[in-house]
Structure 1
């Protein structure tokens, strides 16, 4: 296998991205010029989407496998546990290079024009910043990274490729006020509390593209917001479901299971029959996303074994919980709930609302961010509710 930009695997990646509609004509030149492999570390951990596992790949010992993964449409972990790891996978991936199809779709969402100024939040490997710099010019891109070591590595990769992008270290949720206003802003990590600073630092009419989500699941959804005429709010629709690493400066850690059931199962829970279908909790499902919007301050945990689906709901505001075990073929199952919040009832109410609205997919939902907080809406900003 070759190591230059004309590698067969790289050509195949380009064809695949075009066939998927991820690589549009506006970004073809950037793809051809800026090689993802130039921004990846010698040891990396590609994430296999089929089984959710990560595999260690070392360029020095297996360069063919290394380049094959570099030219694949898969995310690649480049750091574990905020850098507290040696040469093996850690517990939590904390920096990565996203799948190329995800990268180019989000870049296309920005609707860039020549000469626009772009603020990137989350430098990572530097590949995304390099693509932006090729598209709008090095002087028009500023990128912010919270981890000094990650920032330094990205800076070196950008410099080696002749792209001296302004890499700044700091909390990306604060943006870069001294360099504002920007025409566009793109974030490369998932946020739960949408930063108001981003809205203030993008000019009226400008666009913000970011992965956002609720605490209901680890999943995110790409949202494209346009800043209004006076620069005080931004609003737009959700585009597609994704899954990104989260803002490390604002992580929420749920108490352990035993704190919800200190006396063990069933912990004094009330039991009732439920007809809520098991597929309501499908990973990356439309209702799973809608439930996060309608049931705030709640985390969902599911596990499937031998066809049975175990569902747990944990309140993040108190120690309320709910659970159900779905056996294959059951139309009715038993649900348990305890605490001040009746979480199962809340989710059933959300499901009934969702069905009454025609079981909307994510593209019917949207988000408005103001100085006072975030509002979710269905079909238009007029019918909104607080998050």
Structure 2
């Protein structure tokens, strides 16, 4: 890539981020010194800024102009599908590595509040761009970055080396962190978790900060900023919504549909009823988060039809319970079927009612406390417990 195109791309994206207020001026030297294009492979799958969908691959060899435009746009770029097993131009099943949305990268770095000389641990090297930005800020020898996938780690290391940046890159299980002679001042995860590993807390000094995307199994996710206390507890609020790939070791095993209905004729042992709560009203990101915090061990899928209607299926991870909710545009009530020891739709309704009764709180009203035995989600203040979630 010629320097003129790179400089124009950097200038254009910086202007967008500055106008949005998502990059601070003190990060501009790192932004310019660690150009995003160095960290992208020949093929990328562009995403959209406010969603989780990706388009077909753009190949730099065949279409360098579109590739360059995507790289210097404020969009996420998927770089690997299905742990490297997918090689086609269309999207795969599960995205497993990416170069994150620049707005999210720099707002999370703002949350991290990293300063010159800080010891920083990053969980999820990926393409290496975030590690490179941190290294420019605090010095490469002060950055430890951990990547689970050896192939992703190899490519990330090569990208960093192309700019002469050599942090301490560890191939290993990010849940375990990586202890150093002295504790970290800052820890940042570039993958989402449903449980903040306590090892991260133990490896962070008192007063240190942990920034990570966190979300329940059901859905919804936000960035949480935790401060480690002298007591060994980490506590803090959520700062914004997010949509990151789940840490591989914490991905829940979502059993297939047939294990629930077991081939029985409809309603497959379920109890039929009606509800006035539209399935569409519990589908938003913050609604999913609130429901997921209160309805543990559950997940959902949708079955969509040509007329705009759909069935929302909700399942328990243990395969013992399920529910279906049939959505029809313009309907006032909706057919529900529930089976198993848990009445999952009833649980969802109760969670949604709780969220409504508390003023439909956004992410910034929720907080998280992480201790040795588990984590608690709270609303407004740590003493207002919403849910207790054990470590896993």
TM-score > 0.5, shorter chain as reference: yes
Aligned pairs for 1:29-40 (under 5 A) are 29-40=29-40
Q: Give the match for residue 329 of structure 2.
A: 328
Q: What is the distance in 2 between the residues matched to 1:379 and 1:192?
A: 20
Aligned pairs for 1:36-55 (under 5 A) are 36-48=36-48, 52-55=53-56
Q: What is the distance in 1 between the residues matched to 2:241 and 2:375?
A: 19
Do the aligned residues in 2 keep the contact of 1:184 with 1:206 (CA within 8 Å)? Answer: yes
Deviation sequence 1:39-59 (CA, Å, 0-9, x none): 111222222457923221222
1:145 is displaced (CA, Å) by 0.6
Q: Give the match for residue 186 of structure 1.
A: 188
1:212 to 211, 214, 221: 214
Q: Give the match for residue 370 of structure 2.
A: 369
Q: What is the distance in 1 between the residues matched to 2:4 and 2:135?
A: 21
User: Structure 2 vs 1, CA of residues 26 and 5 (structure 1 numbering), >3 Å: closer, same or farther?
Assistant: farther
Do the aligned residues in 1 keep the contact of 2:54 with 2:78 (CA within 8 Å)? Answer: no
Q: Give the match for residue 14 of structure 1.
A: 14
Q: Give the match for residue 297 of structure 2.
A: 297
Do the aligned residues in 1 keep the contact of 2:38 with 2:159 (CA within 8 Å)? Answer: yes
Q: CA RMSD in A?
A: 1.9
Q: What is the distance in 2 between the residues matched to 1:339 and 1:207?
A: 42
Q: TM-score, normalised by structure 2?
A: 0.93
Do the aligned residues in 1 keep the contact of 2:30 with 2:137 (CA within 8 Å)? Answer: yes
Q: What is the distance in 1 between the residues matched to 2:374 and 2:93?
A: 33
Q: What is the distance in 2 between the residues matched to 1:310 and 1:10?
A: 45
Q: What is the distance in 1 between the residues matched to 2:303 and 2:363?
A: 23
Q: Give the match for residue 174 of structure 1.
A: 176
Q: Which runs of 4+ in 1 moved over 6 A?
A: none
Q: What is the distance in 2 between the residues matched to 1:98 and 1:264?
A: 45
Q: Give the match for residue 307 of structure 1.
A: 308
1:8 is displaced (CA, Å) by 2.8
Do the aligned residues in 2 keep the contact of 1:280 with 1:288 (CA within 8 Å)? Answer: no
User: Structure 2 vs 1, CA of residues 299 and 153 (structure 1 numbering), >3 Å: closer, same or farther?
Assistant: same
User: Structure 2 vs 1, CA of residues 131 and 280 (structure 1 numbering), >3 Å: closer, same or farther?
Assistant: same
- Where 1:178 maps in the other structure, the secondary structure is coil
Do the aligned residues in 1 keep the contact of 2:279 with 2:325 (CA within 8 Å)? Answer: no
More displaced 10-residue stretch of structure 1: 304-313 or 89-98? 304-313
Q: What is the distance in 2 between the residues matched to 1:171 and 1:146?
A: 5
- Where 1:37 maps in the other structure, the secondary structure is helix
Q: Could you list the runs of 5+ residues in structure 2 that have no partner in the other structure?
A: none
Aligned pairs for 1:346-361 (under 5 A) are 346-361=347-362
1:240 is displaced (CA, Å) by 1.6
Do the aligned residues in 2 keep the contact of 1:303 with 1:309 (CA within 8 Å)? Answer: yes
Q: What is the distance in 2 between the residues matched to 1:251 and 1:328?
A: 33
Q: Give the match for residue 127 of structure 1.
A: 129
- Where 2:105 maps in the other structure, the secondary structure is helix
Q: Could you list the runs of 5+ residues in structure 1 that have no partner in the other structure?
A: none
1:318 is displaced (CA, Å) by 4.0
Deviation sequence 1:349-372 (CA, Å, 0-9, x none): 112211111111121111111001
Q: What is the distance in 2 between the residues matched to 1:193 and 1:117?
A: 23
Deviation sequence 1:98-146 (CA, Å, 0-9, x none): 1111111111110122211110000000000000011111121110111
Do the aligned residues in 1 keep the contact of 2:259 with 2:319 (CA within 8 Å)? Answer: no
- Where 2:114 maps in the other structure, the secondary structure is coil
Q: What is the distance in 2 between the residues matched to 1:264 and 1:187?
A: 46
Aligned pairs for 1:1-387 (under 5 A) are 3-4=3-4, 6-48=6-48, 52-86=53-87, 88=89, 89-217=91-219, 219-230=220-231, 232-262=232-262, 263-284=264-285, 286-302=286-302, 305=305, 306-384=307-385, 385-387=387-389
Q: What is the distance in 2 between the residues matched to 1:383 and 1:91?
A: 39
